[in-house]
Structure 1
């Protein structure tokens, strides 16, 4: 047998030691983060994620364990290892540690992400901040790692917090119905980019989508079709609660909308007594608007609304209920104002805050009302004068159902075309004279579904515009620039593809091949 010399053994050992201690060159500042963080500093080393077997969670604060479990699942998918979660009373020396900051240390929903060679620390101002820090961490990694290669997280520190409290998107499940799994998929899209609100448009002329046990025909009859005559569908209250919990685990609040007094044909077809003439309407599968209205001078109308709001409030832990109020063209002005005033009192009775489209500003607004600006500047500024906050959803900038250009095969263009740059390059606080940052609750990008029939089409209209809306809501205007943003967005194309997202490959973005 050939003998190995002591010198040879020493050479082998030194080589092994050198390879184990070799510094991994990285630059955290070169990561294409969306939304753009407040501050990123790099220290040039790497944390080996493949060795992350333990995720520690500060003992005591609520809401951290679900974030840790979410991260463990992602690590397991990427590395093939079995990362576990564990509570602790002290900061560990290695692994991943998720904790809550001292009061006042970070801005609300903010976080500090510290990555060194041995420890990743995610410290949030609250549980939401921890989850948002986690999403930033995930953007340093590939979506998939099929070859199970060692994964190194660039070292450094990120401190970050959002510009606006409310950063959301609306999904219209009334024109076309989307099932529970499809809505969960949309929730995941929002979570990827630190958006924290899903507004569900649950009722319209074409379909009623939420079970109301005291008025069962709303779904049994009014939920059975959709635009074009498809089979429609609805969510049971148990399914809705499942969606609420799924969203909450991702720090997303669901805001349910019952549109009224217009956009109500599905209800008017289900219950004849809600019509002024006492005659039930036919189900509607078209796309015209403005032809329907609840009967505003019937007591049964307000009993109906009371029942709907009561049942919806019981299964909605978030503070908001959206009452619609748009395009009620056949409701006389005085009747409309009377109706909105009455409905506000009903919502308040069930301890919820009101959001409504900008037309509701014509009523006498109570405290804590939010007017959602979509079309009418005069309505919206009138709402501000009456003390309302504003949710910015300008149709010409933020409507995800608008076509990208004249060649887009999906969508509409009544508000204009919205290419990716046009959707990104605006400031909510300067868009409308008389509406400043102090008046604004946040930003929302609605996706109406007249032309959108399945989740692939949802993806196409949503991406790549959604990350831009997320950045508008999160990042200070002075830090946003289209020419710089498009280079970061270009690097997310591979993430979209790895996730199977069917996105619009805008020629304005230098996508990486």
Structure 2
């Protein structure tokens, strides 16, 4: 078999040295090495090819071996060689795992058989944080759907799932100290669709599944706005809805209801809700919720929202963010907040900011983002007009929104995190995240259609150096197109590239 050039690899590795020929991958091949990694690779190869490979204590010619050696590369890096056998050596378990993701992309049909090109790869990520976000508040996704989202993301070497767990449309996480949140605040979703919530055992299952694929889960409890659902359970904690002209105009244009205190909110307008910032009972609520949330998620981050508080007095907003980021830090986690929280002079030191403004930021947005770095924190880049997977990929696409513009595949690929905010380079950037908000996303199939292949573009931006080999549009377009057979086998309902490029 003649393998394509460039190779069907996304993200593209730091270094690839092609050797002559290919190595057949027959049903008699075996996998040796780290037990957890070999078991997962065995399962994934079976799903990809139908081959059910055996295991071995020691690899021989024609076999696959997966090992860990800290002398190789650096954090999450790996070396992959294909000569008379396939050998993957990770700097750590994560690196070895990501090496197996590269191998899965290299396995190609060779008539009725399978083979892998002979080559040598050395690879490691550009950024430590490479994320996707799933909004399960506006539309609820069950445990199995979240696990499939994790699988899709980790195959592209993402290592973080950000779960947006609470919003005006629903509260999705059971909290023992405040049980009415899910009893009364989780029944519906946007557009009147069914709701749902996660028990603590559900979350443990999601976290365990993610950890097996070397991903952490970052929970978001959105505060002090996006809190209408709290009022369904504990009305004494929230302010009456605050209307604004944009909210009214959108409701009329979309034929959606305006928010009404005490009633589930079925629209998707923003900026109308807030907790009672001056009420001490609110901070007891925040402490209880963040404590229980932090205990469920072993990763280092706890996201507290902080966006789109359009009806909140700036002084009240500042007082809340200063206090809430410290409550989050008291759980032992690093607080994360959307970039508006950077306007607060006293945001807790070390808080990470998540930037969702435009690629060409306003002066205020840029200053807000930079303030996190000045306060000993860092930035996650999620520019809405390039990285938001819920933006329409073409003007006539049946799903998605356009408030940040139309984001086709070329635009999703054609930006660099280090050039978004002046003065903020790689040293101050924790990483990159591709959010999928779910106003129009009602099913997992909808999520696939919006996310793929654009999620692959963001994955390459997060992993690969901007001046690395094959790191250019024509190559990427060719390479991601060659992943289509594997995506079909995995059941990913992706949108054909020619429709959105």
With the length of structure 2 as denominator, give the TM-score of the two structures.
Answer: 0.89
| Counterpart residue number, 2:73 | 106
Q: Partner of 2:498: helix, strand, or coil?
A: coil
Asked if the contact 2:450–2:495 (Cα under 8 Å) also holds between the matched residues in 1, the reply is: yes
Is 1:121 aligned with 2:87? Answer: yes
Q: CA deviation at 1:385?
A: 2.8
Alignment-derived partner of residue 247 in structure 2: none
Work out which of the residue numbers 276, 283, 305 in structure 1 matches 2:286: 305
* Corresponding residue of 1:49: 25
Alignment of 1:117-266 (within 5 A): 117=84, 119-142=85-108, 149-266=112-229
Structure 1 residues 509, 41: closer, same or farther in 2, change over 3 A? farther
Contact 2:218 2:299 in 1 (8 A): yes
8 Å CA contact 2:239–2:273 kept in 1: the answer is no
Query: Which residue of structure 2 lines up, in the alignment, with residue 97 of structure 1?
Result: 65
SS at match of 2:182: helix
Q: Mean Cα displacement is larger for which, 359-368 or 119-128?
A: 359-368
TM-score with structure 1 length normalisation? Answer: 0.87
2:40 alignment counterpart: 70
Match of 2:251 in 1: none
Q: Find the counterpart in structure 1 of residue 405 from structure 2.
A: 416
Equivalent in the alignment of 2:12: 36
Question: Partner of 1:311: helix, strand, or coil?
Answer: helix
Alignment RMSD (CA, Å): 2.2
The alpha-carbon distance between structure 1 residues 277 and 490, as it changes in their structure 2 partners (threshold 3 A), is closer
Measured at CA, do residues 336 and 509 of structure 1 come closer, stay the same or move farther in structure 2, by a change above 3 Å?
closer
The size of the alignment, in residue pairs, is: 473
Partner of 1:18: none
Structure 2 gaps, min length 5 = 242-259, 358-364
Equivalent position SS for 2:170: coil
8 Å CA contact retained: 1:489, 1:509 = no
Residue 475 (structure 1) aligned to one of 447, 464, 473? 464
Cα deviation 1:117-143 (Å, max 9, x = unaligned): 2x211100111100100000000124x
5+ unaligned residues in a row in structure 1: which ranges?
Answer: 1-24, 58-63
1:374 pairs with 2:365: no
| CA deviation after TM superposition for structure 1 residue 252, in Å | 1.0
Matching residue within 471, 477, 487 for 1:486 = 477
Q: Say whether the 8 Å CA contact 2:25–2:62 is kept in structure 1.
A: no
Match of 2:302 in 1: 321
Say if 1:269 and 1:282, in contact at 8 Å, map to a contact too. Answer: yes
C-alpha spacing 1:240/1:247, structure 2 compared with 1 (3 Å): same
CA drift of 1:417 comes to 0.6
- Note the C-alpha offset of 1:489: 1.7
Q: Which of 43, 53, 57 is matched with 1:83 structurally? A: 53
C-alpha change, 1:434 and 1:331, in structure 2 (3 Å) is same
Instruction: Identify which range, 255-264 or 78-87, moves more after superposition.
Output: 78-87
Measure the CA separation in 1 of the matches of 2:162 and 2:41: 26
Q: Counterparts of 1:287-436 in structure 2 under 5 Å? A: 287-363=268-344, 364-375=346-357, 376-436=365-425
Q: 1:298 to 1:406 in 2, by over 3 A?
A: same
Structure whose CA Rg is larger: 1
Report if the CA contact (8 A) 1:29-1:42 is conserved: no
Counterpart for residue 245 of structure 2: none
Hey, what's the Cα distance between the residues in 2 that align with 1:505 and 1:438? 36
Query: How far apart are the structure 2 equivalents of 1:461 and 1:112?
Result: 33
Counterpart contact for 2:230–2:238, Cα < 8 Å: no
Q: Is the 8 A contact 2:171 2:186 kept in 1?
A: yes
Shift of 1:508: 7.0
Residue aligned with 1:355, SS: strand
Question: Is the 1:52–1:96 contact (alpha carbons within 8 Å) kept by the matching residues of 2?
Answer: no
Q: Kindly state the Cα deviation for residue 156 of structure 1 after the two structures are TM-superposed.
A: 1.7
Cα distance change on mapping 1:52 and 1:318 into 2, 3 Å: farther
What is the deviation of 1:179?
Answer: 0.8
The answer to which structure, 1 or 2, has the higher relative contact order (CA under 8 A, 6+ apart) is 2
